[in-house]
């Protein structure tokens, strides 16, 4: 059976970061091609912006939850990956604690049977309601997969 992937980044963010990465790469290549007329610090700045856009693109496509039915595990992927066996999960919930900024976000909290808690960042959006509704849909899908996997 194939692994089920739940992306926690919206398609808009993924499209935007991909377009920004391609645009900054093209601009950096253009500056390198006409390097006689452009100062070196401008090329370095363009390369730095390309690197930042590339890292943001990597984060957008890497921020996901992978459910493996064969191994009966859930793997949360971000900069650091965490693997949790499905049999050890006691409860899955959403936390909106700590929202003070302009961009709203939700955290996914997995509580294990031994009392440990894992907190993962959920969907982010410019409106709190949209972030919560997206995360609730992702959590509902995750709980369906957990129920089917047990």
Q: Is the pLDDT of residue 135 over 90?
A: no
Average pLDDT estimate for 56-64: 88
Task: Taking the CA atoms of 126, 146, 114 and 65 in sequence, report the sign of the dihedral they define.
Answer: negative
> Which of the two residues, 112 and 128, has the higher pLDDT score?
112
Q: Is the pLDDT of residue 44 over 70?
A: yes
The overall pTM is greater than 0.75: no
Q: Is the pLDDT of residue 85 over 90?
A: no
Q: What are phi and psi of 91, to 5 degrees?
A: -150, 145
* Cα→Cα distances 150→37, 72, 73, 118, 143, Å: 64, 8, 10, 19, 11
* pLDDT-based confidence at residue 126 (cuts at 50, 70, 90): low
Backbone φ/ψ region at 72: left (φ over 0), alpha (ψ -120 to 50), beta: left
**133: which DSSP letter?**
H
Q: In what order do the strands lie in the sheet with 89-95?
A: 89-95, 104-112, 117-125
> Any idea which of 9-13, 48-52, 83-87, 131-135 has the lowest mean pLDDT?
131-135
> Any idea which of 30-39, 42-51, 97-106, 124-133 has the lowest mean pLDDT?
97-106
């Amino acid at each position: 059976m194939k692994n089920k992937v739940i992306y926690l980044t919206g398609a808009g963010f993924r499209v935007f970061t991909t377009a920004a990465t391609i645009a900054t790469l093209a601009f950096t290549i253009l500056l390198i091609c006409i390097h006689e007329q452009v100062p070196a610090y401008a090329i370095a700045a363009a390369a730095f912006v390309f690197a930042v856009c590339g890292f943001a693109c990597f984060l957008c496509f890497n921020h996901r939850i992978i459910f493996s039915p064969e191994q009966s595990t859930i793997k949360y992927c971000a900069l650091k990956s965490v693997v949790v066996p499905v049999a050890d999960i006691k409860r899955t919930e959403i936390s909106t604690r700590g929202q003070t900024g302009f961009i709203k976000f939700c955290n996914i909290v997995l509580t294990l049977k031994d009392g440990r808690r894992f907190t993962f960042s959920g969907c982010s959006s410019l409106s709190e309601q949209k972030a919560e509704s997206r995360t609730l849909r992702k959590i509902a899908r995750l709980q369906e997969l957990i129920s089917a996997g047990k």
